[in-house]
Every structure is written in C-alpha cells, then in structure tokens.
Amino acid sequence: MVKRVSFMGADCPVARALDVIGDWWSLLIIRDIFDGRRRFSELQLGLGIAKGMLATRLRDLVERGVLTTMPASDGSAYREYVLTEKGSGLFLVIVALRQWGEDHLYRPDERHSALVDAETNRPVDRLSLRSADGRRLEWRDTWIRPRGVA
C-alpha cells in the first residue's frame, strides 16, 4: 500500500486544503452533515461506508477542526457530529462540486436534485467569481500573486 503524502507544508493553498478534505469520503460526510445527518449511524447508513473507514474519517475531520462532537440534541447518550466554523466554510466548495456535477455528469433527460433557497423555494443562483468591482471572472482573467509582493 502506498503511504499517504501530506501536503500541509505545500506552498499551494489548494494542496493544503486537499490534505484535509481531499478524499471522496470526507467530502461526502461533510455533504451529509450539511444535509442534516449528525449521528454515526445516520452517516454510515446513508453513505454505505464501512464503520471502520467512517470512524477514521470522522476522527480525522475532528482532529483537523472541520467537525466537532457534542451531546445528542435529543438528550440521549449518543454524540453528534457538527460542523465547526472551519467546516461550515466548505459549503461553497460543496455547492461548486454540485453545480459542476449537474453541468457535466447528467444526461439532459436524467432526473437529479436541485439546491433551493429555503425561504423562497426557488433554485439558487449559479456560483461565479467576481472582481472587486463586480465583473464576472473566468480562469483566464486571474493569476496567482505571491503574498507580500506588490
């Protein structure tokens, strides 16, 4: 088995982010927690993931500050997994992946879900990158500038 390489010391923030959430199980766990699943058994059943693999992923996400545990909301002896502020910051990542999947991985006649505004029940707008003055930017319109360089 190949040993996992850590990217936490990488210069690239994308590489560092992938070090924390870069496997599909972690992102699917985070997606399910956004969707309201909180308990180990709910996550395991919904994802169909092996219990040992789920326990490992949850432990890693807690250790990395993406999730925390708290007593179950129903007062039982169970613990629930909840997103930290760091974890909640992944919402746009999940939405971006969802929208990319909707655009590229479904046939036009294939049924799929839609993300809707809870207040209006209408589909949310597409994510887009905007400049400080409001212009829509594509990848060709950007570049990476090292910090500390004017």
Instruction: Please choose, from the candidates 81, 71, 89, the residue with its C-alpha nearest in 3D space to the C-alpha of residue 37.
Output: 81
101-131 per-position pLDDT tens digit: 999 999 989 998 889 999 999 999 999 999 9
Instruction: Please choose, from the candidates 66, 8, 59, 64, the residue with its C-alpha nearest in 3D space to the C-alpha of residue 34.
Output: 66
Predicted structure pTM score: 0.86
Mind listing the domains of the chain with CATH numbers?
Answer: 13-141 (1.10.10.10)
Using CA atoms, how far residue 88 sits from 9, 25, 107, 118, 140, in Å, is 23, 17, 31, 17, 29
Could you count the other beta carbons within 10 Å of the beta carbon of residue 84? 14
Q: How high is the pLDDT of residue 2?
A: 58
Q: Taking the mean position of all CA atoms in its chain, how far away is CA 11?
A: 22
How would residue 98 be classed by pLDDT, with cut points 50, 70 and 90? very high
Query: With 90 as the cut, is the pLDDT of residue 82 above it?
Result: yes
